[in-house]
Amino acid sequence: MGGPSCSILVARELDETQHEALDRYMDSISTGHDGNEYQVRNLRSKTWKVTLPLPGLFWVGVEPCEWNPGSSHNHLFAEAFGFAPRQYIGCSSICSGEHNDRILGEIVAAISEIIDGIVDFESCLWPPLPLECPYDHTALRKRARWSEDCEPAFRNMVKRMPGRVVGIPIDGKDWVTHYADSRFMRAWMGKPRKHYLY
C-alpha cells in the first residue's frame, strides 16, 4: 500500500452481526468495491465540519491475527487491554497525502466504534516537541530515545483527552507503538493536526 495504514484488534473473531455492521458501514461511504478495495465517496466526519477531498481508494479487510505470546511487546499489550487479539481489521490508504491520512483516520475511528476494537497505530503518535529540542523526527527515530525525548511531551498532549492510549515499547528498543480505544481515537480525530496515523 502506498499510504498510511493501521489496524483494529479484537479479542474474538467477528460474529455475523459485526461482519454485517462492518459491511453496511463500508457500503454507506463507498460507491463500490473490488474485494477489500473501496472507492470512498460519501464520508462525513463526526468530528470536523469540513469537506474532505473525495473520492479515494482504501483497503479494509478482516484478517486472522498471528500472535506471538513470547514477545514482551505482545505480553505488555495483553496486560494493558486484557486480551490477546484473535483477529484484526487492516485499514490502508492506497495513496499517500495528508487528506488520505485524515480520511483513513475517520474510517478507523468509525470501525473501532462499530466493533469495539483497539486501534493499533503501528507507530507512535508524535507530540509537539519543545522548541529547544535539536532533533527532528528522523533523527529521533535513529536515536530511539522515546522515554527521554518524547514521552513527557506526549503525556502532556493527551492528559485531558478521553479514552485510553497506551505506548508499548518495541522489543529491545526505547521506542513505542501506540494503541488506543475507540473513545481516544474519536477524540484524536477531533483535533486539527497534520498527521493522524503516521
pLDDT tens digit sequence for 85-102: 999 999 998 887 777 888
Sign of the four-CA dihedral 50, 32, 24, 84: negative
pLDDT value at residue 131: 45
pLDDT at 55 over 80: no
pLDDT value at residue 185: 93
pLDDT value at residue 35: 86
pLDDT value at residue 147: 72
Half-sphere exposure of 185 (CA within 13 A, CB side): 27
pLDDT value at residue 132: 46
Arch. (CATH architecture) of 5-123+181-189: 2-Layer Sandwich (3.30)
pLDDT at 5 over 70: yes
pLDDT value at residue 172: 67
pLDDT tens digit sequence for 147-193: 777 788 888 888 899 999 999 888 767 778 899 999 999 999 887 66
pLDDT at 50 over 70: no
Reported as type and span, the H/E element at residue 40 is strand 37-40
Beta strands 176-180 and 165-169 are: antiparallel
Distance CA 116, CA 21 (A): 12
Top-confidence residue, 133 or 157: 157
pLDDT value at residue 47: 63
Q: Read off the pTM.
A: 0.86
Rama region for 32: left / alpha / beta (φ>0; ψ in -120 to 50; rest): left
